[in-house]
Amino acid sequence: MLTVKTELLEALRLALEDLQPGAGAKAAFESPKVAAHGDLATTAAMQLAKPLKLNPRQLAEKLCETLRAAAPYQQWAEALDIAGPGFINIKLKPAAKQQVVREVLTQADAYGTQADNGKRMLVEFVSANPTGPLHVGHGRQAALGDAICHLFATQGWRVHREFYYNDAGVQIQTLTHSTQLRAKGFKPGDACWPTDPENPAAKAFYNGDYIQDIANDFLAKKTVKADDREFTASGDVEDLESIRQFAVAYLRNEQDKDLQAFNLKFDQYYLESSLYTSGRVEATVGKLVANGKTYEQDGALWLKSTDYGDDKDRVMRKQDGSYTYFVPDVAYHIAKWERGFQKVINIQGTDHHGTIARVRAGLQAADVGIPQGYPDYVLHTMVRVVKGGEEVKISKRAGSYVTLRDLIEWTSKDAVRFFLLSRKPDTEYTFDVDLAVQKNNDNPVYYVQYAHARICSVLAAWGGEVASLAQVDLGALDSPPAQALMLLLAKYPDMLSAAAEGFAPHDVTFYLRELAACYHSYYDAERILVDDTSVKLARLALVAATAQVLHNGLAVLGVSAPQKM
């Protein structure tokens, strides 16, 4: 139906141009608020009425007259009706709606995708420091980031997945000392274990069982290998540098296992330390100073971030000479721009909201050609986990939180992905473990996957070649249930485009649930494997197209489309 819609839209554009030069840009369709009113609608007459000094309904009448005479409307439109102050509702012929079945079966996995636009974009997500296993919040980031990458890939972007982490700093020092104490035979609760609540470093000591695992392997002089590093332990409990490097490599390996369980792979791991060793941080600070965007006060160096909409100026370099955490962020994003990424999306927790204004201010103050509003941010809330009707907060392995791998082991990779994507990122979400393992219609991922498996079962019972269905006569698909299903299939490409533009993979979950429900209703209304060959083949083509779109949509979410359940 995409071809049909394109032809109708072009005819509308030409008709609007005849009314007023330049008005063709207003040619657009939307879905009528009430399905019974039609299949497509346009408000063009209402938009042009004022500049043309005409009554909207009279203008709509004139526009309808022109459209009815146009070849595409004669071929595909059954009726054009005017409603309200000048809405034009278009009812399509069954043959127009049937075209989507052929399009889906012909394009298969490519249905809904756009051609390569030649542009590169980078999505930075997860970006967990190597101080422990990935928690469910990281899981939400992983699901969001990967789905957003898939969404933009469908729109023609060349997408780069990047994981940025701090491989130095206070947290890594704390990890090192926590591991050293365990290697020496101490444990949380011992007299020597730091517990001073007035000392942030002591309070941050890591108590999970995984620290003992690191210590044991360090003493055994094991070698650990992660995606971005490999290190062999010295086994010397006084060798802090070896403990540090081994612990970081060990936890990067653990995080790799978490990501593998989630079927997620990154194109690059970017180290915060490299921004210092490469001189990028110093160069960025020097640029800001040279541009007159900083000043000295109280022994610190400040950025004039209020010049760029921030609520107050920000300290860049503290009295002790160290940089505040947003300074390497600015250097990092300049590096992203210089690497050729025209669009950048950062997926972070809502606790990072305060960094947005200062990072963007630093990028504008650097004056290196980066556009305003760069980078884009998607902020997400944390996730509550409920199991057996009670909230779960602690993992034995992690010590203080539920890990992503816990969630996958309790349910499945598919359930975790679908569930974590089923709400807007900035809304609170409670992950119900018990619901995620149920095999009924209350479980949304099961409901959608079952629709796909149900169709595969029908196609298997038929036993023919699905590819041959792209050429069958679709004339028998004229019933209301069949037409409703075809119209929903036709909405898939526009849904993808809107979801990408709005950084909204939850729109894909909503669409898939609606499509599954529509298919189940169709299946209940019309038997597919009937005796009449032409009717049977037409219905098989429709359900095969539905399975393809379910498969495509689930792939965007990183969720499998099983053939049997």
pLDDT digits (tens, 9 = 90+) for 70-100: 999 999 999 999 998 999 999 999 999 999 9
Mean of pLDDT values over 193-216: 74
- Token reading at 254: 């653990």
pLDDT at residue 398, rounded to an integer:
59
Task: Determine the number of helices (DSSP H) and then strands (DSSP E) in the chain.
Answer: 22, 16
pLDDT in tens, 442-477: 999 999 999 999 999 999 999 999 999 999 999 999
Q: What angle do CA 436, 438, 439 make, to 5 degrees?
A: 125
pLDDT at 36 over 90: no
The CA distance from 561 to 551, in Å, is: 5
CB 40 within 8 A of CB 8: yes
Q: Specify the residue for token string 């139906």.
A: 1
Could you tell me which residues are beta bridge partners of residue 510?
A: none
In the chain the domains, ranked by start, together with CATH numbers, are 2-92 (3.30.1360.70), 164-272 (no CATH), 278-380 (3.40.50.620), 383-436 (no CATH), 441-557 (1.10.730.10)
Sequence letter at residue 217 = D
Averaged pLDDT, 397-412: 85
Residue 471 CA, chain-centre distance (Å), reads 35
- Please report the pLDDT score of residue 310 as a whole number: 92
Q: What is the pLDDT of residue 399?
A: 64
% the chain with pLDDT above 90: 84
Q: For the segment 276-308, what is each residue's pLDDT rounded down to a tens digit? A: 999 999 999 999 999 999 999 999 999 999 999
Is residue 172's pLDDT more than 70? yes
Separation CA 316–CA 118 (nearest Å): 37
For the segment 14-33, the average pLDDT, to the nearest whole number, is 90
So what's the pLDDT on residue 233? 97
Average pLDDT over residues 308-335: 94
Contacts of 119 (CB under 8 A, 6+ apart): 156, 157, 158, 342, 343
Query: Is residue 377 a contact partner of residue 125, using CB atoms and an 8 Å limit?
Result: no
What is the C-alpha separation between 490 and 537, in angstroms, rounded?
Answer: 20
- Tell me which of 529 and 168 has the higher pLDDT: 529
Lowest mean pLDDT: which of 181-190, 195-204, 369-378, 395-404? Answer: 195-204
CA distance linking residue 28 with residue 23, whole number of Å: 11
Question: Looking at residue 395, what is its pLDDT?
Answer: 61
Nearest to 131 by CA among 449, 399, 419: 399
263: left (phi over 0), alpha (psi -120 to 50) or beta: left
pLDDT over 80 at 150, yes or no = yes
- What's the pLDDT at 201? 46
- 364-368, long-range: CB within 8 Å, 24+ apart, which pairs? 364/308, 365/288, 365/291, 365/293, 365/303, 365/304, 365/305, 365/307, 365/308, 366/284, 366/287, 366/288, 366/291, 366/293, 366/330, 366/334, 367/287, 367/291, 368/287, 368/334, 368/337, 368/338
pLDDT digits (tens, 9 = 90+) for 94-144: 999 999 999 999 999 999 999 999 999 999 999 998 888 899 999 999 999
3-class SS at 310? coil
Who wins on pLDDT, 3 or 347?
347
- pLDDT for 204 equals 62
Q: Look at residue 203 in the predicted model and tell me its pLDDT.
A: 53
How many residues in total does the chain contain?
Answer: 565
Q: What is the pLDDT of residue 199?
A: 54
Q: What does the buried/exposed string (b/e) look like for 248-257 if buried means 16 or more CB atoms within 10 Å of the residue's CB? A: bbbbbbbbbe
pLDDT of residue 198: 55
Amino acid 396: pLDDT:
57
What is the model's pLDDT at position 188?
86
Query: Residue 344's closest CA among 500, 114, 120, 115?
Result: 120
Mean pLDDT across the chain: 93
